[in-house]
Amino acid sequence: MKNPPIIKQISESFIMPNLNELNDVKDPYFLAPGDLAMLSAHYIQKGLLFYKPSTRIEEFSIEIFLEKLRDSLSRTLVLFYPLVGQLTTKINDDEHTCLIYVDCKKGPGVRFVHATVDLAVDDILSPTDVQPITKLFFDHHKAVNHDGHSSPLLSVQVTELEDGVFIGCSMNHAVGDGTSYWNFWNTWSKIHQQHSTTLSLPVLERWFPEGHGPRIILPFTRTDEFITRFEAPQLRERIFHFSSDSISELKKKANREAGEPQKEISSLQALSALVWRAITRSRCLAPDERTVCSLDANLRQRLNPRLPHGYFGTAIWVAKAAATTDQVLGNNLGWTALLLQKAVLELTNQTVRNVFESWMQSPFVYQIEKFFEPNSIVIGSSPRFDMYGNDFGIGKPVAVRSGYANKFPGKVTTYPGREGGRSVDLEICLPPDEISVLESDKEFIAMTVEGLHV
């Protein structure tokens, strides 16, 4: 890669929806328990890399492209109007409490940044590691969600490369989760393409535990009581590719070894078990050390009645499995996958309701350094999210990349593979020495595209 690449900001603007099109705006817009618990986490930062149209790259007008993006974004925000608001806090010193909500009339709108960098698409695609420069393809670098009191809840940065374009979105995680985030992207893409008849409209009505809401009072008056700023240690962020055939074979292997046909192990559970085993080996833990694997779980389909897929908010919890090192490595892949499956199946409607009822009795805000145990693996995002279907008139994305946000040792982010089918890409964050061990792990690498070509 050319050294050193420099991001140059060309322009900045703020995008608002057409106010004449807004109907039934809820203001103030109250946040649910799942939203408020995320106040100390980072913004969601994901982005898509595109080639400029290859047949007419010299004729490509970035100005026209940006203007069309701004226009379609403005129309999209009519449906997602809370994103143009700003977090607001009302403090009750006498009771040592506060109320945090979105003021939809106070916000500056969505920040829209145009930047350039002297790099080619292949400079981003070719290395197996995520390049450090990609962190600068996003606004809100290192921002936590509580910063939404003074910063936009959504920011879009369009970075022009020599032969491509990267569109990076930073969205406040206290306003929406990964499902909400990619629903926003998908809606924006469809509106941009004038496919309004296929829109799946967001559901902005928040879910609260029975007997609670919409005004959720937090037992804090000072920011330092519930907000911390986690700084990640030195990490390598490595991309591993798994083909559809490899994922199918992995699922068959896990189910064969589990030997319980009535409890079919899913593709993601099998892949997660493979990752848990490999990262545990890379950490060289003692046989009796505890290790934990957590899967981010979408709660929409786990509640009864279910929340709609278009529910716009934070509706996630973790399915957590724990075992000692010798249990994870002394048993086979199927055993580990069954342990993960058990954790997922335990997230029933009643369990979820109990979790949030307990939270209401003693509200807390997640702190990364405290919420996840040592030797943890946290598997987030989803290969089911429609990332490569987002088309803004210049063709299909060629890659998904993420920013600095919410990364720590053992964080694994799942993406769909660009070729579709069951293919999956994993972005694994580990200290450099542990990634080096992982790259030579025979069981793990054999299932990747690289391993299949050896």
pLDDT attached to residue 452: 52
Q: What is the pLDDT of residue 454?
A: 42
For residue 38, what pLDDT is reported? 97
Whether pTM exceeds 0.75: yes
How far is 319 from 354, CA to CA, in rounded Å?
Answer: 14
The encoded tokens of residue 348 equal 């029933």
Beta strands in 390-434 (DSSP E): 399-402, 411-416, 424-430
> Given this model, what pLDDT does residue 3 score?
64
pLDDT of residue 99: 97
Q: How many CB atoms lie within 10 A of CB 2?
A: 11
Q: What gap in Å lies between CA 310 and CA 183, rounded to an integer?
A: 7
What is the per-residue burial (b if ≥16 Cβ within 10 Å, else e) of 370-395?
ebbeebbbbbbbbbebebbebbbeee
Q: Which one of 42, 173, 192, 241 is the catalytic residue?
A: 173
421: nearest Cα among 267, 252, 247, 244 = 244
Query: DSSP assignment, residue 379?
Result: E
Tokens matching residue 281: 């080996």
- Short-list 16, 38, 307, 313, CA closest to 181: 313
391 noted as active-site residue: yes
| pLDDT of the residue at 372 | 79
173 is catalytic: yes
Catalytic-role residue among 103, 122, 296, 391: 391
| Those residues with Cβ within 8 angstroms of residue 428's Cβ, 6 or more apart along the chain or in another chain | 237, 238, 240, 275, 279, 411, 412, 435, 438
Provide the token pair at 308. Answer: 């709609």
Please give the domain boundaries of the chain with CATH numbers for all domains.
8-225 (3.30.559.10), 236-452 (3.30.559.10)
User: First vs last Cα of the chain: how many Å apart?
Assistant: 26
Per-residue tens of pLDDT for the chain, all 454 residues: 546 789 999 999 999 998 777 777 878 999 999 999 999 999 999 999 999 987 665 678 999 999 999 999 999 999 999 999 999 999 999 999 999 999 998 888 999 999 999 999 999 999 999 999 999 999 999 999 999 999 999 999 999 999 999 999 999 999 999 999 999 999 999 999 998 777 889 999 999 999 998 999 999 999 999 999 999 899 999 999 999 999 999 999 999 999 988 899 999 999 999 999 999 999 999 999 999 999 999 999 999 999 999 999 999 999 999 999 999 999 999 999 999 999 999 999 999 999 999 999 999 999 987 777 889 999 999 999 999 999 999 999 999 999 999 999 999 999 999 999 999 999 999 999 999 999 999 999 999 987 554 4
- Tell me the C-alpha distance between 450 and 239, whole Å: 11
Compute the distance between CA of residue 186 and CA of residue 354 in angstroms, rounded to an integer.
33
Pair of tokens at residue 442:
């025979």
